[in-house]
Amino acid sequence: MKTFNKTLIATALMAVSAGSSAAGFLLNETSVSGLGRAFAGEGAAADDAAVLARNPAAMALFDQTALSLAGTYIDPGVDMRGVSSPLGSDPSALNIDGAAPQAFVPAAYLIMPLNDKVAIGFAGYSNFGLGTDFGENYPAGTIAGSTDLLTMNLNTSVSYRVNDHLSLGLGLNAVYGDAELIRHFGETAPLINGMVDANLGPAAGLAPDLEPSSISGKMAGDGWGFGFNVGVLYEVNDDHRIALTYKSKTTIELEGHYTNDLAAGIATDSLVGVGGSQVDGTLDLDLPDILEFSGYHKVSDKVILHTTVMWTGWSVFEELRGVADGDTTLEGPLCANGNPACQISDGQTLLLKEENFEDAWRFGLGMTYLMSDAVTLRAGIAYDETPIPETHRTVSIPDSDRMWYSFGANYQLSDNSDVDLAFTFIDGKEVRVEEDGYVLNSEGNAFLVGAQYNYRF
């Protein structure tokens, strides 16, 4: 029995990538100084305290307490054009512009050197999130709708300088996730009304009244997951250094409630009506591990080159499986005489959706130009590979390979403070989406603008 069908928690946790600015539903927006370089060389740059999000070992480069406060505004342009509908309706009704809403991603970092060997740091930022909103009357409401996912990574780290060349770092992460999903019956509502009225309504006294905006699934839940990250920084000399960092897989156990407007006792292969009742459920969301190599190369008095090769272990995201948290007995006109569709058992599988994500790569090249004592300019380009196979691309996650084009600047306000500004355009490929008989063409681009304040004590 699948009380959470594939358009419920699964989409709530996956649809975020339609508005995400990186492959899958990963967020790269951990700093604005990094944004100006398309995050090339982020683990070795150490421009400011925001390096803590990438490499705890880089705290060894700081000789005074540093604070960074950052915010990035994301304007994703996810546009879709309908090709065909399984019910034969006008495919142009599936056309939508701006399916992913705008978002703001904050971050805060503090690095405190304790002596010439040890430093500690604290950070709050997000690595996964955003959402989609197709509206409550969208024809393909069973696979679209509205989704919100927020994650916050709270990090505590320590670094140790082994010698003049080698530094090591370790961090512990507590990741909080909060998700809300609403799905609607869309153009299937009249069809379901007719089936219920013809087969069940007269005998049970039901008067089916589903509307396109009626809820086929609503899920809200939150939870915590825990992981770690490690980093190595090797300084060849004052002008060249490299870094290798690893962030562990994290599993967030989401606990929440599910409901829909379908009468209790009606069950299909992908949906069980609960008649407005709430069903407790849990779902383990596996967030991938990340391995990144970063390079910093000062090739002249004015020019620094930055390089990045990042691997993300998306293959851990093989399936989404939701289970019931406790026994639930549904009530309604169709629940008499021991109807098994009205009984949900503790631990029963409520959702099983195969994902089969694949590991993905990211490559970046950036440049810093030291224009003057007060002004620093940055630029970068990056290629993001999608982890989603073409056969598993969905309306709510129409991910594609992407190119990043970034520009940024830093201005020194005083001896102890400076600000960063950055702009990025992300160009996603146009892709074809086929899901549950719906066929659409999708294109997703994004504009990112960020500002960051840095202070050294």
Residue 10: per-residue pLDDT: 37
Buried b (16+ CB within 10 A) or exposed e, 441-457: bbbbbbebebebbbbbe
- Convert the pLDDT of each residue in 104-151 to its tens digit: 899 999 999 999 999 999 999 988 876 788 989 999 998 888 877 788
CA–CA separation, 216 vs 409, rounded Å? 48
Residue 284: per-residue pLDDT: 86
Of 86-95, 263-272, 376-385, 441-450, least confident by mean pLDDT is 263-272
Residue 419: per-residue pLDDT: 98
Helix (H, G, I), strand (E, B) or coil at 237: strand
Comparing CA positions, the residue from 227, 240, 215, 61 lying closest to residue 128 is 227
125 phi/psi in degrees, rounded to 5: -160, 175
Residue 11: per-residue pLDDT: 36
- Convert the pLDDT of each residue in 210-239 to its tens digit: 999 999 888 778 999 999 999 999 999 999
- Is pLDDT at 340 greater than 50 in this prediction? yes
CA–CA separation, 131 vs 137, rounded Å? 18
Within its chain, how far is the Cα of 172 from the centroid? 20
Residue 14: per-residue pLDDT: 35
Query: Tell me, what amino acid is at 159?
Result: S
Q: 207 pLDDT band (50/70/90 cuts)?
A: low
End-to-end CA distance of the chain: 59
Residue in this structure with the two tokens 């779902």, named with its chain if needed:
283
Residue 269: per-residue pLDDT: 67
Between the alpha carbon of residue 84 and those of residues 89, 307, 433, the distances in Å are 8, 43, 11
29 phi/psi in degrees, rounded to 5: -75, 65
CA–CA separation, 172 vs 159, rounded Å? 12
- When the pLDDT of each residue in the chain is averaged and rounded to a whole number, the result is 87
Residue 154: per-residue pLDDT: 96
Percent with pLDDT over 70 in the chain: 91
- Is pLDDT at 261 greater than 50 in this prediction? yes
Of 147-156, 202-211, 424-433, least confident by mean pLDDT is 202-211
**For the chain, how big is the Rg over CA atoms in Å?**
24
Better-scored residue on pLDDT, 319 or 36: 36
Phi-psi region of 216 (alpha: psi -120 to 50; beta: other; left: phi over 0): alpha
Q: 19 pLDDT band (50/70/90 cuts)?
A: very low
Are 158 and 230 a contacting pair, CB within 8 Å? no
- Is pLDDT at 399 greater than 90 in this prediction? no
Better-scored residue on pLDDT, 103 or 55: 55
Instruction: Spell out the residues 6+ positions from residue 426 whose beta carbon is closer than 8 angstroms to its own.
Output: 21, 384, 402, 403, 404, 405, 445, 446, 447, 448
Q: Record the tokens describing residue 274, joined without a space.
A: 């609960």
Instruction: Spell out the residues 6+ positions from residue 173 whose beta carbon is closer than 8 angstroms to its own.
Output: 153, 154, 155, 226, 227, 228, 229, 247, 248, 250
Residue 18: per-residue pLDDT: 39
CA–CA separation, 217 vs 274, rounded Å? 10
Percent with pLDDT over 90 in the chain: 54
Task: Please tell me what DSSP assigns to residue 64.
Answer: S
Residue in this structure with the two tokens 């272990």, named with its chain if needed:
313
Phi-psi region of 372 (alpha: psi -120 to 50; beta: other; left: phi over 0): beta
For the entire predicted model, the pTM comes to 0.88
Q: How many residues does the chain have?
A: 457
- Is pLDDT at 16 greater than 60 in this prediction? no
CA–CA separation, 300 vs 271, rounded Å? 63
**DSSP secondary structure letters along 241-278:** EEEEEEE--EEEEEEEEEE-SSPTT-B-SS-B--TT--
- Is pLDDT at 408 greater than 70 in this prediction? yes
- Is pLDDT at 7 greater than 60 in this prediction? no
Comparing CA positions, the residue from 284, 149, 156 lying closest to residue 225 is 284
